[in-house]
Structure 1
Amino acid sequence: MAEEEVILKAEGLTKEFKGFVAVKNVNLHVRRGTIHALIGPNGAGKTTCFNLLTHFLTPTAGQIHFKGRNITGSSPAAIARMGLARSFQISAVFPHLSVRENVRVALQRKLGNSFFFWRSERVLNQLDGRAMELVTAVGLEAFAEQQAVDLPYGRKRALEIATTLALDPEMMLLDEPMAGLGQEDIKRIAALIRTVARDRTVLMVEHNMSVVADLSDTITVLARGEVLAEGPYATVSKDPAVVEAYVGTGHG
């Protein structure tokens, strides 16, 4: 795989917690412009891996490169500014602001003046046009003036994607975007992820196998903190080691 094709690369990524190895020697190469899924049975180390990539956890060993730069040891905020943004951190949404205001705050963060709610009305109004573009892009225009706390669950997910898009990332990390969603919402969010991925790279942790099969270009399977298999869904899903790992875990 050509070096310039790889936007995010982890080499020998390892995380130990008091003697327990949660992630062990994981190598991950995510190609630019693809949807890459990280899957595995419960306790496989997927979320730990995600937290390492965005530096919400510091690796015990290994290195992470983003766009050819070594980002190991960088702060989550610095990594976000470089263009690697993670969605579905619940803190990304303010429950008592409207949908439009939530997106506008995220746009302010992009300007670097994180939470200046007291900025002049004129500056904030200039951001409203872009905020409404993003609200419309995720299908929330009918909910624009509704408080985030009052949104149906699936629509909250769409708002979280909008606030992440406000940071204009080159690469988005989605942590179980389909968790807790009904069939209708799953279809809507899957379509949204596909749209978002047209001009950026997406890495997602996901349990829903039909979504993974439908959306992903490449799948990395983790089990007990190690990479078990990697490749397109058609190949990976038939891998005997993968089938074995999933038997009895409740994820078909």
Structure 2
Amino acid sequence: MTQVSVERAVSSEPRVVLSARGIRKDFGGFSAVRNVDLDVHHARVHALIGPNGAGKTTVFNLLTKFLQPTAGTILLMGQDITRTPPDKVARLGLVRSFQISAVFPHLSVLDNVRVALQRPNNLAHQFWRPVSALDTLNRRADELLGLVGLTKERDRLAADLSYGRKRVLEIATTLALDPKVLLLDEPLAGMGQEDITVVANLIREVAKTRAVLMVEHNLSVVADLCHFVTVLQRGEILAEGDYETVSRDPRVRIAYMGTEEA
């Protein structure tokens, strides 16, 4: 390969938008996460997997600053956010969902998205403005509902949606914040197969224009959807690479199944 072709190959690699080096979190004398390094790339889906208690949600909480690391460094698009508070991190473009669906049950589907749109449109603190001011957000809200397949449910109360549809609505509200990096904590948990297919396709579409880091236990979805996989065990990285690579690692098989057998 010539010098020029090597440079082109390097330049075509997706850029790192979220990076962690040596992050550790101690609770008293217990280290829940130790020496974790991560690179999350633009336009890629990166899975964080591992058995229960491996430290996946703790890593999420560290990256989004709901927890402060005991040691290590976290960079968002090259900016050090290690000690940045979570609200500012979100405004910088690092947005997450949670294991438990977080929607306003007594608001309509449309109003849930409009609430989320207030911050990027500088309406969040303008409480003196009439409610009709939110009508300016309807076009973008309808675009987001169309993207996630909730147009027909636009005027329904969020409380009346199925569990899977509520999770889809939650993704719409996170997208309303226009994230550059989207962290999804078990987005498919508790869903039926129909909703799993819908949400997996949605994540694939979303990742065309931003980075996605997800904690997920459904390994068939991880195999089909994710470009890169990091496996945690007891708070440390056990293996990493594409799904085919990590699934063949005997240490991963032992961690998940207690045996090296396929």
Provide the TM-score with structure 2 as the length reference. 0.90
1:28 lines up with 2:38 in the alignment:
yes
- Report how far residue 121 of structure 1 moved: 3.5
Residue 147 of structure 1 is matched in structure 2 by 157
Whether the 8 Å CA contact 1:33–1:199 is kept in 2: the answer is yes
- Report how far residue 4 of structure 1 moved: 7.8
> Where do 1:1-252 residues align within 5 Å?
5-88=15-98, 90=100, 92-114=102-124, 119-248=129-258
Q: 1-side partners of 2:123 and 2:235: how far apart?
A: 38
Whether the 8 Å CA contact 2:22–2:35 is kept in 1: the answer is yes
- Report how far residue 18 of structure 1 moved: 1.3
Deviation per CA, 1:214-243: give whole Å up to 9, x if none.
100000000000001110001110011111
CA distance 1:240–1:91, shift in 2 (3 Å):
closer
- Report how far residue 248 of structure 1 moved: 4.2
Q: 2-side partners of 1:130 and 1:154: how far apart?
A: 22
Whether the 8 Å CA contact 1:88–1:160 is kept in 2: the answer is no
Q: 2-side partners of 1:175 and 1:145: how far apart?
A: 27
Classify the secondary structure of the residue corresponding to 2:118: helix
CA distance 1:16–1:9, shift in 2 (3 Å):
same
Which piece of structure 1 moves more, 116-125 or 202-211?
116-125
The number of residues matched between the two structures is 250
- Report how far residue 113 of structure 1 moved: 3.7
- Report how far residue 90 of structure 1 moved: 4.8
* Alignment-mate amino acid for residue 103 of structure 1: V
Deviation per CA, 1:112-146: give whole Å up to 9, x if none.
44365663244211111111111111000110011
Provide the TM-score with structure 1 as the length reference. 0.94
| Percent identity for Structure 1 against Structure 2 | 62
Larger Rg computed on CA atoms: 2
Deviation per CA, 1:79-119: give whole Å up to 9, x if none.
11111110236574211000000000000022344365663
Which piece of structure 1 moves more, 104-113 or 213-222?
104-113
* Alignment-mate amino acid for residue 48 of structure 1: T
Deviation per CA, 1:188-218: give whole Å up to 9, x if none.
1101111111111100000000010010000
